[in-house]
Amino acid sequence: MNPTIVLVGRPNVGKSTLFNRLTKTRDALVADQPGLTRDRHYGIGRVGERKYLVVDTAGFDPVAKDGILHEMARQAEQAIAEADVLLFLVDGRSGLTPHDEQIAARLRRAGRPVHLVVNKAEGMERALVAADFHALGLGDPLPVSAAHGDGVRQLVDIVLAPF
Ligand code: GDP
Ligand code: MG
């Protein structure tokens, strides 16, 4: 069976960019504007013979009447329900935010494997990038640059290893 990898994280951390990198498509919408992608996005990725399904959780409605925290909670529940493994993306440039902490709190109780992925880490020192995010209690942060591709192959190898 092909494992389902679900990308989760607050708006603008680079989920859609990583989705495109993992599926080698331009299918997911990428924009400077947070929350542009309205719905969930599914794609197939492959390393060698190994196939996996990737889900880009998006659909953060910037004018959602119940607010962004409610919307993030809803997204997290959907992501957990669908995932064999979750990639929780954070932004190495902006550092840890309260929204990251909210999502992390839910993911720690997910009962699914979660990998903490620090995106936008190109040109940044590995140890420095990681230090900030250890506090989330989700293990060793894995630095990547979705935009440039740095660390993405290593990430996929780590994520798929148990499957
Ligand atoms: P999403 O809202 O989480 O899906 O984030 P997007 O994939 O739409 O990306 C949000 C912004 O971050 C866009 O301007 C991207 O070009 C930028 N971005 C994504 N990945 C990287 C990266 O690895 N490095 C840098 N510097 N910017 C990135
Ligand atoms: Mg997106």
CATH code for the domain in which residue 110 is found? 3.40.50.300
DSSP 8-state class, residue 100: H
Query: Quick one: which of 78, 140, 123, 128 has its CA closest to 103?
Result: 78
Atom of ligand 1 nearest to the CA of 119: 23
Reported as a pLDDT band with limits 50, 70 and 90, residue 37 is very low
pLDDT of residue 162: 95
CA 108, distance to chain mean position in Å, is 15
- Amino acid letter at 133? F
Name the more confident of 36 and 2.
Answer: 2
Say how many domains are in the chain: 1
Query: Model confidence over 55-96: pLDDT tens digits?
Result: 888 655 545 567 777 777 777 788 889 899 999 999 999 999
pLDDT of residue 151: 96
Contact between residue 24 and residue 51 where contact means Cβ atoms under 8 Å apart: no
| Average pLDDT value for the chain | 86
Residue 47 CA to residue 53 CA, distance in Å, equals 12
Give the residues surrounding ligand 1 with Cβ less than 6 Å away. Answer: 9, 11-17, 30-32, 34, 37, 119-120, 122, 145-148
Q: Is 35 among the annotated ligand-binding positions?
A: no
Query: Quick one: which of 135, 85, 76 has its CA closest to 115?
Result: 85
What ipTM was assigned to the predicted interfaces of this complex?
0.99
Q: Which domain holds residue 10?
A: 4-160
